[in-house]
Amino acid sequence: MISLLNKMTVEEKLGQLVQIAPFFFVRDLKNELYGPATELGLSLEQIFLTGSVLGIGSPEEMIEVQKRYLDNSRLKIPLLFMADIIHGYQTIFPIPLAMACSFNPELIKTMARISAVEAQTSGIHITFSPMADIVRDPRWGRVMESFGEDPYLNYVLSYYAVKGYQNDNITKEGSLGACAKHFAGYGLVESGREYNTVDISEYALRQYFLAGYQGAIDAGAVMMMTSFNLFEGIPATMNEKLLKEILRKEMEFKGVIISDYNGLKETMIHGISSSEKEAALNCMKAGLDIEMVSGNYILRLKEDFDSGKLPMSLLDEACLRVLNLKKEIGLFDNPFKGVSRDKHNEVVLSKKHLDEALKVAYESIVLLKNDKDVLPIIAKNKVYACGPNLHTNNLNGAWSWHGKSNSNETYHDVLKEKCNIVKNFEESDYIVYFGGEKFNESGEAKSKTNIDFPIEQLEEIIKLKEMSKPIILVINAGRPLVLTAIEKHVDSILYSWFLGTKNALAVVGTLIGDNNPSGKLAISFPRALGQVPVYYNHLPTGRPKNDYDNEYTTGYIDSENDPLYCFGFGLSYSKFEYDELIIKETTVEDDFTLKINVKNDSFMPGFETIQLYIKDTYAHVSRPVKELKSFQKIWFNSNEVKEVSFKITKEMFEYFDNKSKRKIDHGEFIVYVGSSSSNVKMVKINYVGKEK
Ligand code: BGC
C-alpha cells in the first residue's frame, strides 16, 4: 500500500477519509450540483476522490455506484461500502436488547453471520455494529440497540457479534467488517435524552463502560465509531485522550476510527471548534480517520498539508489505515466483492435463515409472570385475542432498514393457524392481550419521558378482568416499560420486545408450549420512572437499606429501592431448584472450582441460565455490590439434576483503582450463584494469592 500512497496527492489522500451517501455518485454528472451536495460543499472532482459510502439499497445500486466511481477516478481505488446492519439484513432478528436476554452468545454469532451473508450480496463491506454502549436508562430510545446494563455481558456479546460478522477473516466472501460503536459512553446521556451531555469519571469509564468496546476489539473489530457526546468536556470525536491514549494505547485498537454522522462539524455546536477548519484540525490531530457525511478534511486541510504546516505523517497514517482495510477486504482484487443479484435472491430470507431467526427469537422472549402456571395454553382451550398489536406486522423494531414488514406474519395470522381462537370473549378460556409499544417508539431520537405501560391499554385490560378469565399479556417494546400498574391485573406476562421477521410465530409458539421461555433480563425494569437509573451492579452506600431501625438509610419514602424485575430475572415453564454451593477450600491462592447442583423440578424440559456474581468486600476503591462474572445456559430434561461447575479465575477479582491501575487484593470476596442477580446462593472466599 505504501507504493500506492506515494502516488497519491494530498487531496487524494484526504478524499479517502471522507464518507458520503451513494446518491452523490449516481446523479446525472452533467447537471450542476444541487441540494445536499451543495450543502456538503464538495465539487464533482472531489466527490470522485472520496473513499467510502454510507448505506446502499440493492446489488444493482452498489454496482452502479462502484462503476461510476471507478470510471471517474484517477487511481481507481475502490469505494468501501458501509451500512447499519444491526439485527439482520432482510431476515430480521430480535432487537439487540432482546437478543442479550437470550444469554446465548452463540445465537448472537449466528445472527451476525447470517446478517453478513445476506448484506454482502448487496455489496456491503462494513456494518456499523455492534453497539457496545452500556445503558441504564430506559428512557433513551437506543436502549433497544444495546446489550443492556452489564459490562461482562456486553463484553461477551460484542465479542461474539464481531466474530460472527467477520468470520475470522474479512477477506472471505460473506464476511463483513465490524464497526463497534459509539466510543465512548453514549449510553449515559443525561436524563435519557437523545444526544444529551454525558459526564463520566475515568474510574466509572473503566469500571463499567469500556467493557463492551473491549469485547469488540478483542474479537478483532476493524473499525470503531466515535460517539456524539462529550468526554471530560471535549467531544469524543476530537478527544485525543479518549482516542489516542485510551482507545489506541490502553485498549490496543489497531483499526480505523470513524466519526458518527456529521460528528466532526458538531464539535462546533458543542462550542469547542470555532470554524470548520478548526473542527477538521481538531479531529485530525485527535486521531479521527474518517469523517462521516461531511467533507471538512478534504475542503479545509489541503493547504496545511501542502505547505507542511501539518506533518504529512498524520495524514499518511490515517490514509494507510483506510487503504489497508480496503486491501484486507479484498477490494483491490475485486471492487465488486460479494455483490450478486443471484446470490441475493438465493440467501435473503432463505428457509435456513428464517429457521435460525425463529430460534433466536424463541430464546429472547422473557416470561415475567406466570401465576398458577396459566401458560402454556392447552391445545383444546379457546383463546380470545385482542389488543392494539394483534393485527400489526410491524414487529421488526427500529434499525432494520432493509427488513420489510410485509415479510412478517401478524399474531392474528399465526393464532388462526395454531390455536382455537374465538370471536367472543364470553366463549373463551383465556384472554390474550397483545399490547405495549409500537415499533417506532424506540430507536435513535426516540427518547421518552413517560415509560409507563400505556394507560389506555391498562384501562382496557382492567375492563377485560371483569370477565374473570385468565389474562395473558404479550408486550412488544423497545425498552423496559414500567409495569407496576398493569402487573397485578394480569396472570401472565410475556415480554417479547421486537423479535423481527419471526416475531409472531415465536410468541405464539411460546404461548402454546412449542417453546419453553428461557430469556433473562439484560436490564433492570424499574418500579417507577423515579428510580431511573436503577441497575444491579451499583456501589454500596454508607447507609445501606438493611438497617430497619434507622430511617436515615438510602431509599425513598414512596418506593422500594429494588427494581420491579431485576437484572438476570426470567421465568420458565420448568421449575429450577438450586442447592447450596460446593467448594473444597474457602481460603484460595489461585484459580479454583465451585460447584452447584441444579434441579429441574418439573416435567417440562427447558433451559436455565445459571449466573455467577462476585463482590470484592474491601478494595482500594469502593466496588459494586455484585458483578456478573460468568454464566452458563444449560438444557435440563424433565426432573433432571445437573452438577454445574464454574472455574473462578484470579482475573475475576481484578478491578481498576482511581489511578486507572489494574489491581487484585487479598481478602474477602463473596461469590454468588443463582437464577437472577437477586436470587442467589453465596459463599465467602478468602483470597491469599498474588496481589497486583
Ligand atoms: C447513528 C449511528 C449510525 C449512523 C449511520 C447515526 O445517526 O448514531 O449509530 O451508524 O447514524 O447511519
CB 634 within 8 A of CB 642: yes
For the residues 358-364, what does the mean pLDDT come to? 98
Q: Is 183 in the pocket of ligand 1 (CB under 6 A)?
A: no
Give the model's confidence band at 603: pLDDT under 50 very low, under 70 low, under 90 confident, else very high: very high
List the helix and strand counts (H, then E) for the chain.
23, 26
Strand, coil or helix: what is 683?
strand
Model confidence over 336-356: pLDDT tens digits?
Answer: 999 999 999 999 999 999 999
Domain count, the chain: 2
Residue 37 has pLDDT above 70, yes or no: no
Distance CA 675, CA 681 (A): 9
Which amino acid does the sequence have at 446? K
Index of the ligand 1 atom closest to the CA of residue 128: 10
Residue 575 has pLDDT above 60, yes or no: yes
Model confidence over 23-33: pLDDT tens digits?
Answer: 888 766 555 55
Taking the model in full, what pTM does it have?
0.97
CB 42 within 8 A of CB 338: no
Q: Where are the beta strands (DSSP E) in 347-429?
A: 366-370, 382-386, 420-421
Which residue from 56, 261, 291, 447 has its CB within 8 A of the most atoms of ligand 1, so it is best to mutate?
261
Q: Which three cell numbers stand for residue 588?
A: 484460595
Q: Answer with the one of 474, 507, 531 that is the final residue of a domain.
A: 531
Closest alpha carbon to 85 in 32, 123, 35 = 123
Distance CA 51, CA 100 (A): 34
Query: How many residues make up the chain in this entry?
Result: 692
Say yes or no: 369 and 439 in one domain. Answer: yes
Catalytically annotated residues: 260
> Which range marks the domain in which residue 637 is found?
576-687
Say yes or no: 485 and 618 in one domain. Answer: no
For the residues 588-608, what does the mean pLDDT come to? 97
Say yes or no: 368 and 494 in one domain. Answer: yes
Q: What average pLDDT is seen over the chain? A: 96
Say yes or no: 517 and 598 in one domain. Answer: no
Model confidence over 85-106: pLDDT tens digits?
Answer: 999 999 999 999 999 999 999 9
Q: So what's the pLDDT on residue 23?
A: 82
For residue 435, list its beta bridge partners.
Answer: 475
For residue 370, list its beta bridge partners.
Answer: 492
| Start-to-end C-alpha separation, the chain | 42
Give the model's confidence band at 525: pLDDT under 50 very low, under 70 low, under 90 confident, else very high: very high
Distance CA 221, CA 19 (A): 19
Closest alpha carbon to 50 in 33, 65, 30, 29 = 65
In a domain, 112, yes or no: no
Say yes or no: 374 and 486 in one domain. Answer: yes
Residue 34 has pLDDT above 80, yes or no: no
Residue nearest to atom 5 of ligand 1 (CA): 261
Say yes or no: 504 and 605 in one domain. Answer: no
Strand, coil or helix: what is 178?
strand
Ligand 1 centroid to residue 263 C-alpha, Å: 10
Q: So what's the pLDDT on residue 33?
A: 56
Distance CA 331, CA 78 (A): 6
In sequence order, the 6+-apart residues with CB closer than 8 A to the CB of 450 are 529
Of the given ranges (125-129, 609-613, 659-663), which has the lowest mean pLDDT? Answer: 659-663
Strand, coil or helix: what is 363?
helix
Q: Which three cell numbers stand for residue 436?
A: 405495549
Which residue from 140, 290, 444 has its CB within 8 A of the most atoms of ligand 1, so it is best to mutate?
444
Q: Answer with the one of 531, 565, 584 that is the final residue of a domain.
A: 531
Model confidence over 182-228: pLDDT tens digits?
Answer: 999 999 999 999 999 999 999 999 999 999 999 999 999 999 999 99
Index of the ligand 1 atom closest to the CA of residue 179: 10
Ligand 1 centroid to residue 195 C-alpha, Å: 12
Say yes or no: 422 and 499 in one domain. Answer: yes
Largest CA distance in the chain: 84
Sign of dihedral through CA atoms 384, 388, 389, 393? positive
For residue 224, list its beta bridge partners.
Answer: 180, 257
CB 588 within 8 A of CB 557: no
Angle in degrees, CA 416, 418, 424, rounded to 5: 45
Distance CA 45, CA 18 (A): 13
Q: Is 444 in the pocket of ligand 1 (CB under 6 A)?
A: yes
Index of the ligand 1 atom closest to the CA of residue 186: 8
Model confidence over 382-421: pLDDT tens digits?
Answer: 999 999 999 999 999 999 999 999 989 999 999 999 999 9
Q: So what's the pLDDT on residue 24?
A: 83
Q: Where are the beta strands (DSSP E) in 536-626?
A: 576-582, 587-588, 592-600, 606-616
For residue 291, list its beta bridge partners.
Answer: 18
Q: Is 195 in the pocket of ligand 1 (CB under 6 A)?
A: no
Ligand 1 centroid to residue 266 C-alpha, Å: 14
CB 658 within 8 A of CB 204: no
Strand, coil or helix: what is 588?
strand
Burial of 333 (0-12, 13-18, 19+ CB in 10 A): exposed
Q: Is 194 in the pocket of ligand 1 (CB under 6 A)?
A: no
Which amino acid does the sequence have at 101? C
In sequence order, the 6+-apart residues with CB closer than 8 A to the CB of 300 are 276, 277, 279, 280, 281
CB 231 within 8 A of CB 200: yes
In sequence order, the 6+-apart residues with CB closer than 8 A to the CB of 522 are 97, 100, 101, 103, 147, 148, 149, 150, 153, 567
**Eight-state DSSP code of residue 379:** T
Sign of dihedral through CA atoms 33, 36, 41, 43? negative
Q: Where are the beta strands (DSSP E) in 236-365?
A: 256-258, 291-292
Q: Answer with the one of 472, 499, 531 that is the final residue of a domain.
A: 531
In a domain, 361, yes or no: yes
Distance CA 645, CA 641 (A): 13
Say yes or no: 521 and 587 in one domain. Answer: no
Q: So what's the pLDDT on residue 27?
A: 66
Of the given ranges (40-54, 582-596, 603-617), which has the lowest mean pLDDT? Answer: 40-54
Q: What is the CATH number of the domain that holds 434?
A: 3.40.50.1700
Which residue from 128, 266, 293 has its CB within 8 A of the most atoms of ligand 1, so it is best to mutate?
128
State the virtual CA torsion across 137, 142, 143, 149 in degrees, nearest 10: -80
Say yes or no: 517 and 376 in one domain. Answer: yes
Closest alpha carbon to 215 in 142, 283, 292, 133 = 133
Which residue has 444469554 as its cell numbers? 103
Q: What is the CATH number of the domain that holds 607?
A: 2.60.40.10
Q: So what's the pLDDT on residue 312?
A: 97
Say yes or no: 371 and 516 in one domain. Answer: yes
| Helix ranges restricted to H, 432-559 | 455-465, 484-487, 503-511
Say yes or no: 391 and 483 in one domain. Answer: yes
Residue nearest to atom 12 of ligand 1 (CA): 84
Which residue pairs, CB below 8 angstroms and at least 24 apart, start in 558-563?
A: 558/530, 559/527, 559/528, 559/530, 559/531, 560/527, 561/531, 562/527, 562/534, 562/678, 563/524, 563/525, 563/526, 563/527, 563/531, 563/534, 563/536
Residue 281 has pLDDT above 70, yes or no: yes
Radius of gyration of the chain (CA): 26
Q: Is 142 in the pocket of ligand 1 (CB under 6 A)?
A: no
CB 345 within 8 A of CB 549: no
In a domain, 115, yes or no: no
Say yes or no: 395 and 500 in one domain. Answer: yes
In a domain, 425, yes or no: yes
Index of the ligand 1 atom closest to the CA of residue 228: 8
Q: Is 261 in the pocket of ligand 1 (CB under 6 A)?
A: yes
In a domain, 371, yes or no: yes
Distance CA 650, CA 654 (A): 7
In a domain, 241, yes or no: no
Ligand 1 centroid to residue 236 C-alpha, Å: 15
Distance CA 546, CA 65 (A): 64
For the residues 552-567, what does the mean pLDDT come to? 95
Distance CA 366, CA 610 (A): 15
Give the model's confidence band at 556: pLDDT under 50 very low, under 70 low, under 90 confident, else very high: very high
In a domain, 445, yes or no: yes
Residue 440 has pLDDT above 60, yes or no: yes
Q: Which three cell numbers stand for residue 690?
A: 498474588
Q: Is 181 in the pocket of ligand 1 (CB under 6 A)?
A: yes
Residue 16 has pLDDT above 60, yes or no: yes
Count of alpha carbons within 13 angstroms of residue 116, beta-carbon side: 30
Give the model's confidence band at 429: pLDDT under 50 very low, under 70 low, under 90 confident, else very high: very high
320: enclosing H helix or E strand: helix 312-329
Q: So what's the pLDDT on residue 274?
A: 98
Closest alpha carbon to 641 in 595, 678, 684, 681 = 595
Model confidence over 442-459: pLDDT tens digits?
Answer: 999 999 999 999 999 999
Q: So what's the pLDDT on residue 28?
A: 60
Strand, coil or helix: what is 246?
helix
Closest alpha carbon to 136 in 497, 488, 522, 440 = 522
Query: What are the angstrom distances between the C-alpha of 281 and each of 248, 260, 321?
Result: 19, 17, 18
In a domain, 426, yes or no: yes
